[in-house]
Structure 1
Amino acid sequence: MKKILLLILLTSYSIFSFSQENIVVAIKIRGVKKTKTSEIKKIIETKENVVLDSLVLKNDIIRLKRLPAISHAYFQFFRSYENKYNVFINVEENFTIIPEVNFWTTTNRKFAYKIGLNDYNFLGRNIAFGGFYQNNGFDSYGINFRAPTLFSRKWGIALHHQNWVSEEPLYFDNQTANYKYQNISYEALALYQINFKHQLQFGINFFKEKYDYLSGATSPTIPQKLNVNKRLLKLVYTYDKLDYYYQYINGFKSQFYGQYVTSENEYQDDFLIFWNDFFYYKRIGEKGNWANRLRIGLASNDNTPFAPFALDNNVNLRGVGILVDRGTGSVVWNTEYRHTLYEKNWLVIQGNAFVDAGTWRNPGGSFSDFIDGKNARVYSGVGLRFISKKIFNAVFRIDYGYGLTKNASRGFVFGIGQYF
């Protein structure tokens, strides 16, 4: 009888105890220097005077680690009194004022450079603001403003202006011509976070494109001078389940880009373009990271030298060269294994081995172009990464790509940030 009574008392106590929901009485942010505490509290879903939920807290930590300003974060909670708890969010900040300095030679052997400055945590409020100046024989500049939480935790805005000028190769009738290309654009996007995993960007871009013939082949069907105003409607949808631990990434991400471009000229009709990037990352042991990107893209299949998908060193295949070809469709798979060779304090050195493979649809071609061996390219190679754990996106990379397909090129590719 005593055992039964004791069991009843214990059951009653357990029911009473668990019926009392644990409440967050205070949220304390530790480790911030530049970032405003109010901004972090706005971004996270955990709030004061609501039920304590460890799953929500875990998602909040992942959300914070995705921010340029935060290199690492973790949470703790301690009982204050009765069922009331204090939540502590501990953060390690990145240095986010990043200069940009690049030097290279152009296709006509001219010396070129690009300088810029960007703050990815402007005013400590999760705002990216900056610009650049470039000279590659022509003057270019750009100004960018992006505030994903400007209006609330869910709503923000992005504004961009760019005046870009470069010498671009165009391909037609198995011939090549070089044009001076200028793009003057003004873009406004609304940014909306549906929930923890889903985000939207949508808006409009007004731009002017100019093409002026410089050298190479000519054709009566291809203009030597073109000046046209265009409008671009843009939609970006992101599904993000990535988790970050300093230089390591784990999880899956999908990013869809859709654009509809309207113009009024006889050489370029209105066209639709979309592509989707699928990313998959997996931690392997303590020091390894397997990284993958699959890009599938299609555009209106006009037979034009102005096709939107480029075959390029810095975009899809390392070692292929600069603007080697263009197409109206693209399937590219990049895969690499990254391994930490050295790590101490703020510095990380990674080695990597990669394979980049892609195939294109020719302008005006058919879907069979994707399986035509003449349109396929495969490159393999190795590289190094020098990474700062305290500066946002401070990854200096160098890769050497070697072509495995017929008549392929080879070469080094330098850049800032991981390739993907």
Structure 2
Amino acid sequence: MLVKNVLHILLFIITSSAWSQQISEIVIQGNKKTKASFIRKITQVNEATKLDSLQLEQDISRLKRLPAIAHAYFQVQAKEDGSVKVVYGVEENFTIIPSANIYTTDDDEFAYRLGLYEFNGLGRNIIFGGYYQRDIYNSYGVNFRAPYLINKKTGLALNYQNLTTSEPVFLESGTADYKYNNESYELLSLYQFNFTNRVEAGINYFTENYEYKSGATSADVPQNLEVKKLLYKLIYEYNNVSSFYHYVAGFKSILNFQYVTSRDDTLPEFLIGFNDFVYYKRVGKKGNWASRLRLGIATNNDSPFAPFAVDNNLNIRGVGNTIDRGTAAIVLNTEYRHTLFEKGWFVLQGNAFVDGGSWRNPGGDFGDFSDNQNLRVYPGAGLRFIHKKIFNTIFRVDYGIGVTQNATQGFVIGIGQYF
């Protein structure tokens, strides 16, 4: 027993000595588009630090999270003078990526969004691009995001959107169809506290227009309405998710809090907050279980223009495009992804999912969550066609089938995992 303890102590001393060596050289290899100076800027380890395995592992995880990097690794090489050389190796993604999302239901409803984005602008992981959407009406938007614009912790985001859709407005006498337009300008500051915690804060100035098209009417609800608003936004994210190509594991939580001011009593000011809890788990060598729980609540105004929507693209696959609204929401998405075929850069995944949720009616109470008319459950299945060396090139096709009251069914097609 004494000999065993002595051996453990000696092993600890030898290991500690090895990891206390001075770093005298750092080499970046494998990068073609990504600037080596950028990689040095955002990593912790430099020539002035001693060798630290935890810092090296965090640097690799940070690099793997970048859109430009498909995979990263490190090597430690001893030098004759007793110091060490650290080599960071990266495998880059192709980062000029088209985006596409298509939504259909069994009532022949069809909508799509197409876009093009550069995820590694100037070799410094600056994201820039835009989209066009056709959902009865035309919409478009432009986005700029530079998380490391100022230093390794501080960045900036700018967004413009001109969104026009056909929105159902739910009245006591029935449903009305309105042409809805939202033109917005957004400025966000981005800050990373550490490896797992970051925050976004900013302001959004926007104008909302509602134009009555058909359906039920109400003396209390105007047929034409234009309101200018200010939205103050705060996003806090805890992210402890690690990845190996298309496999992910870990937990993250994203809190989104907004305060919206208004100049019209028909669309009064309100508070809204929601939190996404996301958990990923590897299952064997080829499986991945993924779950997302969204809890949301807003000021309970008795207004037909409630903030939480039931929608194909947001929460329930197969349900349709904005079929209901509420002032609070509970949504659970869970799915099992399994690699069916993998060779070189190509991966074919299959998945089986269940999307379910319920909403509080505008002006209602929390008992609305148990109302059969508000509860929706949609199981389904889909396929994922994955390119391992092009960022976010996961072409997904899902088909959801409702099993609750007044259910629909339909395809949801897009780029990237649903969550």
TM-score, normalised with respect to structure 1: 0.93
Q: 1:179 & 1:294 partners in 2: Cα distance? A: 31
Q: List aligned pairs for 1:161-172, cutoff 5 A.
A: 161-172=160-171
In structure 2, the partner of 1:379 is 378
- CA drift of 1:297 comes to 0.2
In structure 2, the partner of 1:80 is 79
- CA drift of 1:137 comes to 4.8
Q: 1:384 & 1:137 partners in 2: Cα distance? A: 27
In structure 2, the partner of 1:95 is 94
- CA drift of 1:101 comes to 4.8
Does structure 1 residue 238 correspond to structure 2 residue 237?
yes
- CA drift of 1:283 comes to 0.3
- CA drift of 1:201 comes to 0.3
Q: 1:112 & 1:64 partners in 2: Cα distance? A: 35
| Gap change, CA 1:247 and 1:409, over 3 Å in 2 | same
Q: List aligned pairs for 1:179-194, cutoff 5 A.
A: 179-194=178-193
> Helix, strand or coil for the counterpart of 1:241?
strand
> Helix, strand or coil for the counterpart of 2:187?
strand
What letter corresponds to residue 300 of structure 2 in structure 1?
N
Does structure 1 residue 173 correspond to structure 2 residue 175?
no
Q: 2:316 & 2:19 partners in 1: Cα distance? A: 58
Q: 2:101 & 2:375 partners in 1: Cα distance? A: 30
- CA drift of 1:341 comes to 0.2
Does structure 1 residue 322 correspond to structure 2 residue 330?
no
Greater shift after overlay, 103-112 or 152-161?
A: 103-112
Q: 1:385 & 1:359 partners in 2: Cα distance? A: 27
Q: 1:75 & 1:411 partners in 2: Cα distance? A: 45
Does structure 1 residue 199 correspond to structure 2 residue 198?
yes
Q: 2:416 & 2:296 partners in 1: Cα distance? A: 23
What letter corresponds to residue 47 of structure 1 in structure 2?
N
In structure 2, the partner of 1:153 is 152
- CA drift of 1:21 comes to 2.9
Q: 1:165 & 1:413 partners in 2: Cα distance? A: 20
1:70-108 deviations in Å (ceiling 9; x for gaps)? 111111111113441111111111111012355667999
Greater shift after overlay, 82-91 or 130-139?
A: 130-139
> Helix, strand or coil for the counterpart of 1:242?
strand
In structure 2, the partner of 1:413 is 412
Greater shift after overlay, 372-381 or 385-394?
A: 372-381
In structure 2, the partner of 1:3 is none
Q: 2:368 & 2:112 partners in 1: Cα distance? A: 37
- CA drift of 1:232 comes to 0.4
Greater shift after overlay, 175-184 or 274-283?
A: 175-184
Q: 1:100 & 1:193 partners in 2: Cα distance? A: 27
Whether the 8 Å contact between 1:394 and 1:417 is mirrored in structure 2 is yes
| Gap change, CA 1:138 and 1:377, over 3 Å in 2 | closer
In structure 2, the partner of 1:122 is 121
1:38-84 deviations in Å (ceiling 9; x for gaps)? 11111111111211101111011111111110111111111113441
Q: 1:407 & 1:209 partners in 2: Cα distance? A: 31
Greater shift after overlay, 305-314 or 368-377?
A: 368-377
Structure 1: where are the runs of 5+ without partners?
Answer: 1-6
In structure 1, the partner of 2:292 is 293
In structure 2, the partner of 1:48 is 47
Greater shift after overlay, 145-154 or 46-55?
A: 46-55
Q: 2:361 & 2:134 partners in 1: Cα distance? A: 32
Greater shift after overlay, 86-95 or 369-378?
A: 369-378
Whether the 8 Å contact between 1:295 and 1:330 is mirrored in structure 2 is yes
Q: 2:315 & 2:136 partners in 1: Cα distance? A: 25
Does structure 1 residue 364 correspond to structure 2 residue 357?
no
Does structure 1 residue 304 correspond to structure 2 residue 303?
yes
Whether the 8 Å contact between 1:172 and 1:304 is mirrored in structure 2 is no
Identical columns (%): 57
1:364-384 deviations in Å (ceiling 9; x for gaps)? 011111233332111111111
In structure 1, the partner of 2:3 is none
1:268-300 deviations in Å (ceiling 9; x for gaps)? 111000000000000010000000000000000
> Helix, strand or coil for the counterpart of 1:369?
helix
Q: 2:173 & 2:56 partners in 1: Cα distance? A: 58
Q: 1:116 & 1:234 partners in 2: Cα distance? A: 25
1:219-262 deviations in Å (ceiling 9; x for gaps)? 11111011011000000000000000001000000000000000
Whether the 8 Å contact between 2:317 and 2:412 is mirrored in structure 1 is yes
Q: 1:129 & 1:140 partners in 2: Cα distance? A: 18
How well do the aligned residues superpose, as a CA RMSD in angstroms?
2.3
Q: Which has the higher contact order (CA 8 A, sep 6+)?
A: 2
- CA drift of 1:115 comes to 3.7
| Gap change, CA 1:47 and 1:400, over 3 Å in 2 | same
> Helix, strand or coil for the counterpart of 1:73?
strand
Whether the 8 Å contact between 1:20 and 1:83 is mirrored in structure 2 is no
Structure 2: where are the runs of 5+ without partners?
Answer: 1-5
Whether the 8 Å contact between 2:30 and 2:90 is mirrored in structure 1 is yes
Residue-pair matches, total? 410
TM-score, normalised with respect to structure 2: 0.93
Whether the 8 Å contact between 1:98 and 1:119 is mirrored in structure 2 is yes
